[in-house]
Structure 1
Amino acid sequence: MDKNKMKHEKLEVMPALKSPRIVEDASIDSGQRVTWDCIWFGNYPQSEVVCETDTLRINELNDSDYDKQYVTVSSAQWNKIIGAAYDESGDAVVDGIKYRRLRTVDINGLEDGDNNCIGDGKDTDQYFMYEPIKWRILNVNGNDALLLSEKAVDAQRYHMTRESVTWETCTMRSWLNGYDSSFNGNAEDYTKLNFINHAFTSGECSAIKTTKVINDTDHTGDKIFLLSENEVCNSDTAVSYGFEEFCDTSYARACEGSAFVTAMYGDEEDFGVGYYWWWLRSQGITDHTAFVNYDGGVYDAFYVDCSGVAIRPALHLDLSCSDFYSYAGTVCNFWSEDNL
């Protein structure tokens, strides 16, 4: 495996998980130092898989300004991976490891006739390894923990049609939760191709609580959801989660992503280096919804059918189901070795 491969070691002793620790500090721009506990929970495509003899691709990745995670495999293993039988989701298991095959037609940021700029114009298939998802703990209340993915996990449209839409009827909600066509305004069926059933086993799904998601219009009950604008700025709730109250540039809200996210978007050049726009669930003006910019600023106007916005899912986890998750250290909103 390549040196960029992340290690996910389960600790023998799970420390007591806590809500964010916030300490005032006038020496940094945010005015506060915040430390969040993190856990590993679920798996999703992340690192790109590259044959060890593909020096061109390896050099592209190493020379990039973006921190692309990748793993190298032997030629024999590479031939197994590319020759595997992939299902309709693009997934296959090879020697006990799950992979996602991404074809050019699957990339959200591409229009007809475009190439995938991730590989400097390459239009061949790419392969990604399923790896544990790292979650930031925003709140702990007894055995209930509110989690936000530490990095973006995917890039999808908030809604497949440019029209005025709420969280209740957007296709994003259906895709995250695996709902059928009756749940969204586009009548799209996501019972097979979705996030929840690919990221979590049935046991892990049972540990995810159904949350009453509070919206400007009708409230919903979902296992997976997006944060609202009120949960990331301009409220005591946002501050308690470790975010600054103001909606301007914020390292605490800035979001990195995996190699898979970059590939799904299809065009790196619209992002700040290594950071991504990510969706919120709050409705914006007419056919727009709210989002967080790559620099952590919060805005309420982005077309709902834009493909170039990443996803940071949120969920409530039952901490008593400790067999399904493991400790992943801490992250903070200031420079620290814990963030490495």
Structure 2
Amino acid sequence: MQVGDKISFGSYDWRVLDIQNNTALIITECIIEQRAYHDAYKDITWADSSLRKYLNGEFYNKFNATDKSRIIPVINKNPDNQWYGSKGGADTQDSIFILSIEEVVCQYFGDSSSKLQNRGKNQKYWFERKDENNSKRIARLEANKGGIWWWWLRSPGRVNVKAVYIHGDGNIGIQGNNILKGNISDGKCTGGVRPALWLKL
């Protein structure tokens, strides 16, 4: 197995993002469903979000005993938002999770860390649309016949009623979308979910 490979695990196709010490970090190839980040419009961090509860409960329990034995719980860091200072919250132990802005921007989809660390004076909401790594972050919605869609990250947005997301064009929505309604113009919560986990090889 190599980074970049596509594998099947459970009932999903996954992309290998990293390999360390006979374990692999994998993320679903597609956006597998649409859910709110949290079930109420209130200040929240990943630690207390309903999406985290769902992924580590109901979603995790969809796997059979053999597959569960290969999923390795990890401690995730949840840094504050680099542009706005909103709180990332406590470290969390997760069996299944969504990626942070640092993981998506600095590690696993090319290195755009300079844009995260050096906010331009005219940048309010986005990284630059010409970021060379945007195309690597584009994801398709499995249930929508492969249409491109936006997906959640676990990092806080400009305030803690928002969470960072990846726009349909792969750009980083660092200001965040509404944790309950997602993109309000869509009329209902449409936030895409791409679960990630560490897998024992």
Which letter maps to 1:201? N
Distance 1:248 1:208, change over 3 A: farther
User: For the residues of structure 2 that align with 1:42 and 1:232, how far apart are their CA atoms?
Assistant: 23
Long gaps (5+) in structure 2: 80-88, 116-126, 182-188
Pairing 1:1-340 to 2, within 5 Å after superposition: 17-19=1-3, 36-43=4-11, 133-178=12-57, 194-198=58-62, 200-216=63-79, 217-233=89-105, 235=106, 238=107, 241-245=108-112, 247-249=127-129, 250-259=134-143, 262=144, 274-286=147-159, 287-300=161-174, 301-306=176-181, 307-319=189-201
Considering Cα pairs closer than 8 Å and 6+ residues apart, tell me whether 1 or 2 has the greater RCO: 2
- Percent identity (aligned): 31
CA RMSD of aligned residues (A): 1.6
Shift of 1:142: 2.6
Shift of 1:257: 1.8
Which letter maps to 2:136? A
User: For the residues of structure 2 that align with 1:242 and 1:169, how far apart are their CA atoms?
Assistant: 27
The normalised TM-score by structure 2 is 0.78
Q: Is the 8 A contact 1:136 1:150 kept in 2?
A: yes
- CA-to-partner distance for each residue in 1:281-340, whole Å, 9 max, x for gaps? 001122101000011011122100021111001100000xxxxxxxxxxxxxxxxxxxxx
Q: Is the 8 A contact 1:243 1:253 kept in 2?
A: no
Long gaps (5+) in structure 1: 1-16, 20-35, 44-132, 179-193, 264-272, 320-340
The normalised TM-score by structure 1 is 0.47
- CA-to-partner distance for each residue in 1:29-60, whole Å, 9 max, x for gaps? xxxxxxx11110011xxxxxxxxxxxxxxxxx
Which letter maps to 2:110? F
Distance 1:248 1:223, change over 3 A: farther
Shift of 1:248: 4.3
Which letter maps to 1:279? W
Q: Is the 8 A contact 1:244 1:252 kept in 2?
A: no
